[in-house]
Structure 1
Amino acid sequence: MGGASAGVRIERWAEGDLDLLRRLNIHEVREHTGGPETEEQVVARHARYVAGPGPGSGNMFTVVLPERVKVGSVGFWERVWHDEPVYEMGWAILPAYQGRGLATAAVREALALARAERTHRHAHAYPSVGNPPSNAVCRKAGFALLGETEFEYPPGRWMRCNDWRIALTD
């Protein structure tokens, strides 16, 4: 890791993290995932994150710098992809902190937790083909690119994305 990402930690999403979710709900962060959500959607998402881990809520974490500043989110949740139960992963970093390797470090931490659960054989990530930084995170975190696919996110909206996969078990 090294550099600015050294010492980055992830912490389980908590009740006090609603403000972080609101700060992540901006065009610069959400342009490849359907755009900003309404306040009602953000509050509902926060409630799901706090309720986790579990079905419907996943395993969500804040990305925390060594100086205790929360700068993003990372998580994994269950889905079925091509008839296989897998974890799907997602992340977001505040614009002022992007480009420092923080997302890659956070994804690696989340992958370690997903592996420790010994629940699924693979994790996938589906960044938009038009989102080079998120695709780079997948590559740097050790995912293998399986190819382009159509992916529904948010529900009712189809996007062209890359299907990245990483093994969670030997």
Structure 2
Amino acid sequence: MEITVRLEPWAEDDFWLLLRKNEPAMTGHLGGPETEDKLRDRHRRYLALSAREPGAGRMFRVVADGESVGSVGFWERLWEGEEVYETGWGILPEFQGRGLAAGAARALVAHAGAHGTRRHLHAFPSVDHPASNAVCRAAGFTLLGEVRFEYPPGEWHASGNWRVALGGDGS
């Protein structure tokens, strides 16, 4: 049975979730754990993003069965000459393997499609991260191919270029 997820806008009290997601098991494909100062900067960026107009992007806390289980968000970026959205997610280890990331990604696609201004939403998981690639597949993204992707800044890796059409602006 699929568990229903709910997306709650990122709030001041959600910093604890960044601390939990900073564990080595959660950051291995993202360049490793960050310092607390970097996490506080990230928290401020998430709050600022969520304070902007909805079409500019948004960060969410993922809630399932009344528990906070992770985060998901989308933001604006330029990709191959097109203004698109990029997305990323993270589900805490004790909640993984239940389809929550895919459910959160599907809910995010619906939100971005309803409130956004971009035609496409992209995800760029490492090619050696089978779980995130499976989330993309389960959430309805199409794999366009492999690309070199920079994340964190200064670190390049082979990544899948996954895309889903949002239906806005003529798509």
Q: Identify if the C-alpha distance between structure 1 residues 15 and 101 changes in structure 2 by more than 3 Å, giving closer, same or farther.
A: same
- Aligned-partner SS, 2:134: helix
Deviations 1:135-160, CA, capped at 9 Å, x for gaps: 00000101000111100001111111
Q: Distance in 2 between matches of 1:58 and 1:40?
A: 23
2:98 corresponds to: 100
* Cα deviation, residue 7, structure 1: 2.2
Q: Distance in 2 between matches of 1:63 and 1:24?
A: 13
TM-score by length of 1: 0.93
Partner AA of 1:10 in structure 2 = L
8 Å contact 2:143–2:163 — kept in the other structure?
yes
Is 2:81 the counterpart of 1:69? no
**Structure 2 segments unaligned to the other structure (5+ residues):** none
1:128 aligned residue (126, 129, 134): 126
2:34 corresponds to: 37
TM-score by length of 2: 0.92
**Structure 1 segments unaligned to the other structure (5+ residues):** none
Report the count of equivalent residues.
165
1:86 aligned residue (81, 84, 87): 84
- Aligned-partner SS, 1:128: coil
* Cα deviation, residue 118, structure 1: 3.9
Q: Distance in 2 between matches of 1:58 and 1:119?
A: 10
What are the equivalent positions in structure 2 for 1:10-21 lying under 5 Å apart?
10-21=7-18
- Aligned-partner SS, 1:32: coil
